[in-house]
Amino acid sequence: MEIIQWIATNIFGVPAILLGLIVLLGLLLQKKSTSQVITGTFKAMIGFLIISAGSSIITGALTVFEPMWAEVFGLESNTFSNYMGQEAFTTKYGAAVTLAMFIGFLINVLLARFTKFKYIYLTGHMMFWTTMVFAGVVVDTKTDIPFWGFVIFLSIIMGIYWTFQPAIVQPFMRKVTGNDNIALGHTSAFAAVLAALLGKWLGNKENDSEKIKMPKGLEFLRDSNVITALTMGLLFCVGAVILLINGGTGAEKIIANSGDQNFIIYSIIQSFTFAAGIAVVLLGVKMFIGEMVPAFNGIATKLVPGAKPALDCPVVFPYAPNAVILGFLGAFAGALIWLVVLGYSVAYVFVPTMIVLFFHGATAGVFGNSTGGVRGALIGGFITATIVSWGQYIMVTFLIGSTIPDTAMWAADTDMFILSAFIKFLAQLFF
């Protein structure tokens, strides 16, 4: 029993170690060299640990942003101390999330092998975050779930989702790419499909986005780090100016956090800190996914010859570069609108996550353009912002409030928002 307890605590209880072992197994099965095995295993573990560091940076910036805009709207601010938070959640449930991700991938491979849905989901960072967010929803529903019951429940959900999500999008994907060689494996799927349908009904296919010339001055919109810093900087500065003008006890307390530093300069630094936290997380994700996906892919190709790879959303960007920018602009405009509407209607401070709005809005823009031209691309972006803003409010308030609402504010995506209520219902049903 002492040996079992030691293994449970030091291997299954340490997500970085468990992830490293999974990557190690995948590389060994592919008969990689000793150097490749060591490099891949270590980089996967380091990348996973970097994610936790980045999450802490983001949370620190949000503890300024959320009270600032709560004061602007005259709301009672929430405090992150009331939540478990990403770092504590990962420490306690990270092993279950890692195992569920691995077993869910094996279920995806088996379903692709024995059914007509021949899609292998290879967007590793979305595999990780989707499993993590759904885990947060499940734990918020029921805290005392047995470890293996939790793992099996999550694994089955993820395996089914990763198999059928690309299959549902594929008819629309063929319109975008003109062939059937690759699939979309990304949590922007719901927004993409909705954009294609609304583009067909409300758009004009003849007015294709690629027939217009976009100004070169908008090239910076293709860099997600730049637009994150720019947008959050704008929102932080607007909030800071409003607090300085309006004053009041609440405003004075928030302004006091800047110490001797000018409050507007302090706010700008916080916006860049938020962007830096996102960049750190993405670096960690890139490191561990860069090793995990080849390990998973090696297993999959041996078991499912001829399967279609379901890939990250940027694979569609080259098919309609102008629609990428139009989709993001539609999403950005929608986010600003919903920020104000949510603040004054349901008393919620929406955190407009530029990473999500850019990649999801751009993807929806490409799909919307494929059926509805320029109008379809803009509608796709706006629909993305609508799902993300209202989805964030519903998830943070009702579905994941006691576990990782901080993560839901910047890492949850359109499919997660749409499916989380169903996940919570299943958790209540089975546990």
**Per-residue model confidence as pLDDT tens digits over 119-166:** 988 887 788 889 999 999 999 998 888 999 999 999 999 999 999 999
pLDDT at 185 over 90: yes
Q: What band does 13 get if pLDDT is binned at 50, 70 and 90? A: low
The pLDDT score that the predictor gives to residue 299 is 63
User: Which of 138-152, 315-329, 361-375 has the weakest average pLDDT?
Assistant: 315-329
The pLDDT score that the predictor gives to residue 214 is 64
Contact predicate 414/191, CB 8 Å: yes
Top-confidence residue, 76 or 30: 30
The pLDDT score that the predictor gives to residue 155 is 96
Our CA angle for 341, 253, 408, nearest 5°, is 45
Structure tokens at 309: 């790879």
- Please give the helix or strand (H or E) that residue 311 lies within, else none: strand 308-311
Helix, strand, or coil (residue 277): helix
Most confident segment among 91-105, 308-322, 382-396: 382-396
Counting Cα atoms < 13 Å in the Cβ hemisphere of 195 gives 44
pLDDT at 79 over 60: no
Partners of 120 in beta bridges:
309
For the chain, what is the mean pLDDT? 86
Q: What band does 32 get if pLDDT is binned at 50, 70 and 90? A: confident
Helix, strand, or coil (residue 310): strand
Query: What is the C-alpha to C-alpha distance for residues 273 and 322, in angstroms, rounded to an integer?
Result: 30
Read off the pLDDT of each residue in 66-93 and give the average, rounded to a whole number: 77
The pLDDT score that the predictor gives to residue 180 is 87
Top-confidence residue, 349 or 375: 375
Angle, helices 86-114 vs 124-141, to 10°: value is 120
For the stretch 241-296, pLDDT in tens is 988 888 777 788 888 888 888 999 999 998 899 888 878 877 887 787 677 777 76
The pLDDT score that the predictor gives to residue 149 is 94
The pLDDT score that the predictor gives to residue 28 is 84
Read off the pLDDT of each residue in 354-359 and give the average, rounded to a whole number: 81
User: Which of 132-141, 190-199, 327-336 has the weakest average pLDDT?
Assistant: 327-336
The pLDDT score that the predictor gives to residue 137 is 96
The pLDDT score that the predictor gives to residue 417 is 95
Q: What band does 68 get if pLDDT is binned at 50, 70 and 90? A: confident
Amino acid identity for residue 106 in this structure: L
The pLDDT score that the predictor gives to residue 279 is 84
Alpha-carbon distances of 362 from 123, 207, 224, 322, 327, rounded to whole Å? 17, 18, 11, 9, 5
pLDDT at 334 over 70: yes
Contact predicate 298/256, CB 8 Å: no
**pTM as predicted:** 0.79
309 — phi, psi (to 5°)? -75, 130
Read off the pLDDT of each residue in 297-315 and give the average, rounded to a whole number: 77
Could you count the other beta carbons within 10 Å of the beta carbon of residue 376? 35
With CA atoms as reference, report the closest residue to 62 among 400, 396, 286, 416.
396
Please enumerate in sequence order all residues whose Cβ is within 8 A of that of 108, keeping only pairs 6 or more positions apart, or say none. Answer: 119, 120, 121, 158, 159, 162, 163
The pLDDT score that the predictor gives to residue 157 is 97
Read off the pLDDT of each residue in 331-341 and give the average, rounded to a whole number: 91
With CA atoms as reference, report the closest residue to 124 among 147, 150, 98, 149.
98
Could you count the other beta carbons within 10 Å of the beta carbon of residue 361? 36
